[in-house]
């Protein structure tokens, strides 16, 4: 098995386990901390990610790309020279932007998020940023060396420690009278987990580092030429995420809902419902890893039938995944949230989110295929339009009395649909891909049919939620087989692509 394929398969497994561990962490966190602390943590987290992206300057991506090029040429001394300049750039960025983040915390907490209680969590996030920035550099280094296992293990170690610390220690620091302290304590535990992950990566780095010739230098220009454009794209994405809780809270304030209540609602939506909906998304993501190189290969060979077969397979499997997820969560999602998270609020949220998140499952493969077909810029712009559209619609709808948080949910769905349909429209312009809008039509129609007929055929809630969901899945599977959406030849094709890799 090739190093690339082995690393890819390890990464697939790591994505699943990382999502699973992250899901378990959220379950424990919500159960132990309570909804208000979860709301504070969840609303503060996008600010942490935005400032982390600002400090990183896209350097991890630049390190991965240039390290791969130098490693292919066996220039180990230049790799270490590159790492020395990157460490210095990261320290310089921390020194410049760290104080900016510190002095911005009161304004972000008091004026933008309208909740002074978030300041503690944001300050702990500031202490976490240098560790996360250096971890990102090491992850880029190992990715450049095609040592995906180290990155995968570091993610699993981090999640494992987060779960352990929250489960074992957080109950002793939870104070119902101070949710802000509970949220800050959870961020401290995230800091510890990040530190353990960094120490693992540093240990591995010291073991593989060689030819540390101090006389060899590497110019700063190439790394900045790669890093800064990548930083711009990521920075915009993290900035729109940073704005999301701000606009959510501001819009609900216009509608007459206080900042604390709005923060709780944001925590429930973005900390419970959306992560649950996104859990099965590792399937289309992993499928993209396998199929995108195959799409690039077919296009390079000008083999149009092979290209269309592979694009069709990727999109059909992703649409089927979305069909199962949307159906299960629409019918049983709120019951699952009650059982797993012990959250009773949010009635009706899943019924609004599940139908539109069907399109999230086809978004990742569409984006990846566009990149494989040299449409990376168009894919990025589609994502930008979707993000901006979501924020605009969120403010307009959520600020209306009587709609409020449900308007914000509709806005999130609007952003998902807009990005996905823009991706599809862009890919349709590539005639060789042969992609229309029909690949998701039958799965989405089956989702509608099953959600209507399932309560008639077998009333909901008569058996435990796992068995109830399994029954729904079997009915849906039967419909997909009847409408010939699942082909046994798909399994053979995927195995063939893996072997060819």
**pLDDT tens for residues 180-202?**
888 899 999 999 999 999 999 99
**Largest Cα–Cα distance of the chain, in whole Å?**
76
**Mean pLDDT (whole number) for 407-419:** 90
Torsions phi, psi for 160 (to 5 deg): -60, -45
Q: Higher-confidence residue: 434 or 310?
A: 310
Q: Higher-confidence residue: 124 or 4?
A: 124
Q: Higher-confidence residue: 265 or 71?
A: 265
Q: Higher-confidence residue: 217 or 55?
A: 55
**pLDDT tens for residues 336-359?**
888 888 887 767 888 889 999 899
pLDDT of residue 5: 43
Query: In this structure, what DSSP letter does residue 117 have?
Result: T
* Tokens standing for residue 12: 């697939």
Indicate if the pLDDT at residue 497 is higher than 70: no
**Mean pLDDT (whole number) for 386-392:** 91
**pLDDT tens for residues 92-143?**
999 999 899 999 999 999 888 888 888 999 999 999 999 999 999 998 888 7
Among the listed residues 452, 235, 248, the one whose alpha carbon sits nearest the alpha carbon of residue 330:
452
- 128 SS3 class: helix
Place of tokens 């998902």: 416
Residue ranges per domain, the chain? 1-234
Which residues touch 142 (CB under 8 Å, ≥6 apart)?
A: 148, 150, 151, 201, 204, 205
Which of the four pLDDT bands, split at 50, 70 and 90, describes residue 81? confident
pLDDT of residue 73: 78
- Cα-based distances in Å from 7 to 70, 162, 417: 19, 25, 32
**Mean pLDDT (whole number) for 317-325:** 89
pLDDT, averaged across the chain: 82
Terminal-residue alpha carbon distance, the chain = 9
In contact, 404 and 284? CB cutoff 8 Å = no
pLDDT of residue 4: 40
Q: Any idea what the Cα angle at residue 360 is, between residues 374 and 420, rounded to 5°?
A: 45
Burial of 173 (0-12, 13-18, 19+ CB in 10 A): middle
* Tokens standing for residue 99: 């104080």
In contact, 324 and 42? CB cutoff 8 Å = no
Which residues touch 485 (CB under 8 Å, ≥6 apart)?
A: 316, 320, 442, 443, 446
pLDDT of residue 366: 86
Which of the four pLDDT bands, split at 50, 70 and 90, describes residue 211? low
Q: Residue 170 CA to chain centroid, in angstroms?
A: 25
Query: In this structure, what DSSP letter does residue 260 have?
Result: H
Q: Give the number of other Cβ atoms within 10 Å of residue 95's Cβ.
A: 10
Percent of the chain with pLDDT strictly greater than 70:
86
CA distance 51 to 36: 24
Contacts 24+ apart (CB under 8 A), 256-261: 256/401, 257/404, 257/405, 259/113, 259/114, 259/115, 260/36, 260/115
pLDDT of residue 202: 92
Which of the four pLDDT bands, split at 50, 70 and 90, describes residue 3? very low
Indicate if the pLDDT at residue 436 is higher than 60: yes
pLDDT of residue 499: 57
Which residues touch 344 (CB under 8 Å, ≥6 apart)?
A: 338
Burial of 305 (0-12, 13-18, 19+ CB in 10 A): exposed
Among the listed residues 454, 348, 446, 342, the one whose alpha carbon sits nearest the alpha carbon of residue 405:
348
Among the listed residues 30, 29, 343, 37, the one whose alpha carbon sits nearest the alpha carbon of residue 175:
37
CA distance 407 to 397: 5
């Amino acid at each position: 098995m090739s190093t690339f394929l082995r690393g890819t398969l390890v990464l697939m497994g790591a994505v699943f386990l990382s999502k699973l561990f992250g899901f378990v962490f959220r379950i424990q966190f919500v159960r132990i901390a309570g909804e208000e602390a979860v709301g504070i943590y969840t609303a503060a987290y996008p600010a942490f990610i935005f400032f982390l992206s600002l400090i990183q300057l896209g350097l991890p991506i630049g390190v991965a790309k240039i390290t791969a090029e130098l490693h292919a040429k066996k220039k180990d001394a230049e790799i270490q020279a590159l790492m020395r300049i990157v460490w210095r750039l990261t320290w310089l960025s921390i020194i410049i932007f760290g104080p900016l983040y510190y002095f911005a915390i009161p304004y972000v907490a008091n004026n933008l998020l309208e909740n002074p209680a978030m300041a503690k969590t944001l300050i702990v996030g500031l202490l976490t940023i240098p560790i996360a920035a250096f971890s990102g550099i090491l992850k880029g280094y190992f990715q450049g060396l095609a040592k995906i296992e180290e990155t995968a293990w570091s993610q699993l170690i981090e999640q494992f420690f987060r779960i352990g610390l929250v489960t074992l220690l957080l109950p002793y620091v939870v104070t119902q009278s101070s949710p802000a302290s509970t949220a800050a304590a959870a961020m401290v535990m995230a800091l510890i987990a990040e530190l353990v992950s960094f120490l693992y990566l540093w240990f591995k780095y010291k073991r593989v580092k060689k030819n540390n010739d101090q006389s060899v230098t590497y110019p700063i220009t190439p790394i900045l030429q790669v890093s800064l454009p990548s930083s711009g794209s990521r920075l915009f994405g993290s900035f729109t995420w940073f704005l999301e809780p701000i606009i959510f809270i501001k819009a609900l304030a216009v509608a007459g809902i206080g900042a604390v209540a709005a923060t709780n609602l944001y925590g429930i939506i973005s900390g419970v419902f959306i992560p649950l909906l996104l859990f099965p998304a590792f399937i289309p993501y992993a499928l993209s890893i396998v199929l995108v190189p195959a799409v690039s290969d077919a296009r390079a060979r000008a083999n149009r039938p092979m290209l269309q077969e592979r694009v069709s397979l990727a999109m059909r499997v992703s649409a089927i995944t979305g069909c199962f997820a949307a159906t299960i969560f629409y019918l049983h999602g709120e019951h699952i949230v009650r059982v797993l998270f012990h959250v009773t609020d949010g009635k009706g949220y899943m019924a609004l989110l599940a139908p539109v998140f069907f399109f999230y499952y086809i978004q990742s493969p569409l984006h990846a295929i566009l990149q494989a077909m040299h449409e990376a810029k168009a894919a990025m712009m589609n994502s930008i339009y979707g993000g901006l559209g979501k924020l605009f619609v969120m403010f307009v709808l959520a600020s209306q009395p009587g709609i409020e948080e449900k308007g914000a949910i509709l806005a999130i769905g609007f952003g998902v649909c807009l990005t996905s349909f823009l991706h599809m429209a862009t890919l349709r312009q590539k005639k060789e891909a042969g992609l229309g809008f029909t690949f998701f039509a039958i799965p989405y129609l089956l989702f509608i049919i099953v959600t209507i007929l399932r309560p008639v055929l077998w009333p909901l809630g008569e058996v435990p939620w796992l068995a109830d969901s399994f029954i729904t899945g079997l009915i849906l599977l039967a419909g997909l087989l009847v409408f010939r959406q699942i082909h046994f030849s798909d399994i053979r094709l995927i195995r063939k692509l893996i072997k060819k890799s």
